[in-house]
């Protein structure tokens, strides 16, 4: 647990460091509420904003944007992105589908004949929106033939890996989300074979694991499929764990109930069940319901929570009222109010609350211990919590910062679990020092125009010395001076 101190200072000085960074022209919400909007009209997007829904999932279709080689039309995507950024909506964009010129007119579900054409489109798109979109998915439900015509090996080699590598090059701070599979089990579409293969062969590229799941039997059974599986089919959690990806955030990016098969009241009830269950479990970290509005094509089932006329169905009002706090869950009314949680609780073990994580409980105990240890230690802890929200902003907008911060936390929490308390005479572990150094390096080179730049430079200058000091000396002597310097430069 001495690493909690070092981590606390670590994450405290580092967190203080990250703290008040403001990102212009981009909103990244930590809230879990999302909806699929495709490229909805502005009047529809206004309804999303009015409901308090934080996130939208949009389509960026290559086949539409570049119908002829070299001739691009991003106007509709631009419109939606500009509306979202002007109105504080966070964006998750799904990119995919091939134009006929790129694959011999085989159809949009086949990959490009020349993978360089696909990579060029991805690179151009990421560069165009990198200041406004930080979360990207590739393709939609590739295990279904109606969306991807070939097998999982072709998907990984010709779609996923080229796009992921291109995104990393075009915007190292972007988050890659996937694999966006449909929870189907019919021959050839088995989500569990696809997910295991994709995560085993390309899982390291994902920052967030996502899944689509529609369940007729209700939310309770949906969570059984996610967490426990059944006699013949493994749980989604099991496949993720077997592939070594269990410590990454998990999102459901499609779930819903259409009002052709279900009454509008039942749709509303299912939304509320899902919202309550997600809050109690704090899992998944985000849910994007499908969809905001009924499709104008009468042949498409009415999945929307708005009718074609923009008139709200009961589910829309339920979602809106829930987000506004008007429908508290009597089982645990404060669950999901993330403002009361520290960064560790929001990012480690898929956001598990402290009550469900012994290591997080020990971190809370460490905080209490430090508050009583010395004035410098108390101020350090106070800075950690005071700047928690601002730290989260930068971490949610930069995948490198998110991963480094999460790595620091996970190592510290592991050591907390193993050691149980603080050794005040041991210096900072080498692994934590390296991650802190990398994190500070990003801040001092890429965030020089922020209020934290002077502190980033100060920590960078003294980090080697800090790493050799025992927590006792660091808290009693060095941090006392450092806190005063930080107050002056603020």
CB neighbour list of residue 388: distance below 8 Å, 6 or more residues apart: 15, 342, 343
pLDDT score of 410: 74
CATH architecture of 33-335: Alpha-Beta Barrel (3.20)
Strands 90-96 vs 250-255: parallel, antiparallel or unpaired: unpaired
Residue 242 near residue 196 (C-beta atoms within 8 A) = yes
Is pLDDT above 70 for 6? no
Higher pLDDT, 217 or 483: 217
What distances in angstroms separate CA 240 from CA 84, 195, 204, 234, one per listed residue?
Answer: 32, 8, 12, 10
CA–CA dist 370, 421 (Å, integer): 12
Contacts by 431-434 with C-beta closer than 8 Å and gap 24+?
A: 432/3, 432/6, 432/7, 432/10, 432/408, 433/463, 433/467
CA–CA dist 179, 96 (Å, integer): 13
At 352, list the tokens. Answer: 């598990």
For residues 151-162, give the mean pLDDT. Answer: 98
Is pLDDT above 90 for 407? no
What distances in angstroms separate CA 209 from CA 60, 114, 237, 357, one per listed residue?
Answer: 20, 28, 10, 21
16-30, 156-170, 311-325: least confident range:
16-30
CB neighbour list of residue 477: distance below 8 Å, 6 or more residues apart: none
Residue 53 near residue 293 (C-beta atoms within 8 A) = no
At 421, list the tokens. Answer: 């308390």
For residues 385-392, give the mean pLDDT. Answer: 68
25-34, 56-65, 184-193, 469-478: least confident range:
469-478
Give the chain's length. Answer: 490
Average pLDDT over the chain, rounded to an integer: 84
Domains of the chain by residue range: 2-14+342-489, 33-335
6-10, 149-153, 266-270, 404-408: least confident range:
6-10
pTM of whole model > 0.95?
no
| Alpha-carbon dihedral sign for residues 130, 26, 31, 432 | positive
Is pLDDT above 50 for 187? yes
By percentage, how much of the chain surpasses pLDDT 90? 60
**Which of 129, 128, 190, 201 has the alpha carbon at shortest distance from 158?**
201
Q: Does the bond joining 208 to the residue before it have cis omega, within 30 degrees of 0?
A: no
Angle between helices 161-170 and 115-129 in degrees, nearest 10: 40
At 424, list the tokens. Answer: 């005040």
14-18, 283-287, 465-469: least confident range:
14-18
pLDDT in tens, 116-147: 999 999 999 999 999 999 999 999 999 999 99
pLDDT in tens, 226-246: 999 987 899 999 999 999 999
Q: pLDDT tier at 252 (50, 70, 90 boundaries)?
A: very high
CA–CA dist 96, 104 (Å, integer): 17
* Alpha helices for 399-452 (secondary structure H): 399-419, 430-446
CB neighbour list of residue 362: distance below 8 Å, 6 or more residues apart: 1, 4, 413, 416, 417, 420
């Amino acid at each position: 647990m001495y690493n909690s101190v070092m981590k606390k200072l670590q994450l405290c000085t580092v967190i203080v460091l990250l703290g008040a960074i403001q990102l212009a022209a981009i909103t990244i919400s930590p809230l879990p509420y999302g909806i699929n909007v495709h490229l909805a009209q502005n009047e529809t997007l206004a309804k999303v904003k009015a409901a308090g829904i934080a996130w939208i999932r949009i389509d960026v279709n290559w086949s539409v944007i570049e119908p002829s080689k070299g001739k691009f039309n991003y106007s509709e995507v631009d419109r939606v992105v500009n509306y979202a950024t002007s109105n504080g909506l966070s964006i998750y964009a799904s990119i995919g589908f091939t134009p006929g010129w790129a694959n011999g007119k085989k159809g949009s579900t086949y990959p490009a004949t020349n993978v360089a054409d696909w990579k060029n489109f991805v690179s151009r798109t990421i560069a165009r929106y990198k200041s406004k979109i930080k979360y990207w998915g590739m393709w939609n439900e590739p295990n279904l033939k109606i969306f991807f015509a070939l097998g999982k090996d072709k998907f990984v080699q010709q779609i996923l890996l080229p796009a992921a590598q291109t995104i990393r090059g075009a915007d190292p701070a972007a988050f890659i989300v996937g694999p966006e599979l449909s929870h189907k089990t019919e021959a050839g579409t088995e989500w569990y074979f696809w997910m295991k293969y994709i995560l085993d062969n390309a899982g390291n590229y994902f920052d967030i694991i996502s899944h689509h799941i529609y369940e007729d039997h209700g939310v309770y059974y949906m969570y059984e499929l996610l967490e426990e599986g059944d006699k013949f089919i493994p749980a989604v959690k099991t496949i993720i764990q077997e592939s070594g990806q269990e410590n990454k955030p998990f999102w459901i990016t499609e779930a819903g109930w259409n009002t052709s098969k279900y009454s509008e009241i039942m749709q509303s009830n299912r939304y509320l069940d899902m919202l309550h269950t997600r809050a109690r479990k704090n899992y998944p970290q985000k849910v994007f319901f499908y969809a905001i509005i009924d499709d104008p094509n009468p042949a498409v089932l009415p999945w929307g929570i708005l009718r074609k006329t923009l008139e709200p169905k009961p589910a829309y009002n339920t979602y809106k009222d829930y987000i506004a706090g008007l429908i508290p869950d009597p089982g645990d009314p404060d669950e999901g109010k993330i403002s009361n949680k520290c960064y560790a609780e929001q990012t480690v073990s898929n956001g598990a609350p402290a009550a469900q994580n012994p290591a997080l409980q020990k971190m809370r105990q460490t905080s209490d211990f430090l508050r009583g240890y010395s004035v410098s230690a108390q101020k350090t802890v106070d800075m950690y919590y005071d700047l928690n929200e601002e730290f989260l902003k930068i971490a949610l907008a930069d995948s490198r910062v998110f991963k480094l911060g999460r790595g620091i936390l996970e190592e510290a929490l592991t050591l907390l679990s193993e050691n149980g308390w603080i050794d005040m005479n041991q210096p900072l572990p080498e692994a934590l020092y390296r991650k802190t150094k990398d994190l500070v390096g990003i801040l001092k080179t890429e965030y020089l125009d922020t209020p934290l730049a002077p502190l980033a430079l100060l920590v960078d200058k003294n980090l080697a010395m800090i790493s050799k000091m025992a927590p006792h000396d660091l808290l009693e002597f060095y941090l006392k001076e450092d806190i005063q310097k930080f107050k002056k430069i603020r």
